[in-house]
Amino acid sequence: MDPALPIGVFDSGIGGLTVLKDLAARLPNENFIYLGDVARLPYGTKSAHVVIRYAQTCVQFLVNRRVKYVVIACNTATAMAISEVSHMVSVAVTGVIEPGVKAALSATKNGRVLVLATQSTVKSEAYLREFERHGYGTHVEQIACPLLVPLAEEGWFNHETTAHVIQSYLSKVQYKEFDTVLLGCTHYPLLEESFRRVLPQSIALVHGGPHLAQTVAQKLTEERLQNSSDSHFSHRFFSTDTISSSLPIIRALFDHPVDFELVDLERQ
Ligand code: DGL
């Protein structure tokens, strides 16, 4: 396989850009293709068979554009569809659940981790299984936070209303007993400043992005797939519908131009 081929990254919307940012920082010589399936967002309220079908069409889109690696930058799609999409492609596929658990385990000191995620991710119990698989005596609780994805898509990243919504979700548990909050949805790191309006600094706020970037870097090295050509490094952004409200704020997060090209996944 040609190491100059891009890495394909997808999410239901703009959330996966938080993962792309970590990937691009860790792998500055790589080319990336990003797909945000905003036309079918949210994934986080949908049932498994629907999310599997959506994830498969996203992966097919990336594979048709000849990617050397697929990153599922969506917790919901990882929780529900990683094995189905891994079976349909010959390239490596990495999702965000395991890296998120690793991030939480390296941050927690009292072994109490609070996972915030979409309804579908919480219901799948993928995080609980992954914590168990790591065999730590960690006490994990989960809260579904369905209103946070629309607030992120709207661009209300650092906003009083977002902070109120976060506060009301957190009040479902004794959140101050947890020393680590794991953001188990890739949209949530965009809301970090709103989280910080509510959470004391003593509570670590972590997500899987940096660990995922580390895993991808390691796999590319093992498979001798790092891009070492002098080819022009590019990032291409595709979406299945227009992204308007949050685009100006998103652009400020990246050093390079973020311009989305519209695609129709039903006609690929
Ligand atoms: N960003 C996605 C995740 O990490 C979910 C957003 C949605 O509900 O579509 O789960």
Sheet containing strand 7-11, strands side by side:
92-94, 69-72, 7-11, 32-36, 235-239, 260-262
Q: Is 12 in the pocket of ligand 1 (CB under 6 A)?
A: yes
70 C-alpha to center of ligand 1: Å? 17
Q: Which of 74, 117, 126, 225 is catalytic?
A: 74
Q: What is the position in ligand 1's atom list of the atom closest to the CA of 45?
A: 8
Do residues 43 and 120 lie in contact, with contact meaning Cβ atoms separated by under 8 Å?
Answer: yes
77 C-alpha to center of ligand 1: Å? 8
Which residues are 71's β-sheet partners?
9, 94
**Domain range summary for the chain, segments of one domain joined by +:** 7-95+210-267, 98-207
Closest by CA position to 118, among listed 57, 44, 53? 44
Q: What is the pLDDT of residues 207-220, one digit of tens each?
A: 999 999 999 999 99
236 C-alpha to center of ligand 1: Å? 21
pTM for the structure as a whole: 0.96
| Rounded Cα–Cα distance for residues 118 and 116 (Å) | 7
Helix (H) or strand (E) holding 127: helix 126-133
Question: What confidence tier does 60 reach under pLDDT thresholds 50, 70, 90?
Answer: very high
Q: Whose CA is nearest to atom 9 of ligand 1?
A: 42
74 belongs to the catalytic site: yes
**Can you name the CATH fold of 98-207?**
Rossmann fold (3.40.50)
| CATH class for the domain made up of 7-95+210-267 | alpha beta
Q: What is the pLDDT of residues 205-262, one digit of tens each?
A: 999 999 999 999 999 999 999 998 766 668 999 999 998 778 888 888 887 788 999 9
Q: What is the pLDDT of residues 97-145, one digit of tens each?
A: 999 999 999 999 999 999 999 999 999 999 999 999 998 678 999 999 9
Q: Whose CA is nearest to atom 5 of ligand 1?
A: 44
Q: What percent of the chain has pLDDT over 90?
A: 87
**Residue 228, pLDDT score:** 85
Q: Do 7-95+210-267 and 98-207 have matching folds?
A: yes
Q: Is 186 in the pocket of ligand 1 (CB under 6 A)?
A: yes
What is the rounded radius of gyration, in angstroms, for the C-alpha atoms of the chain?
Answer: 18
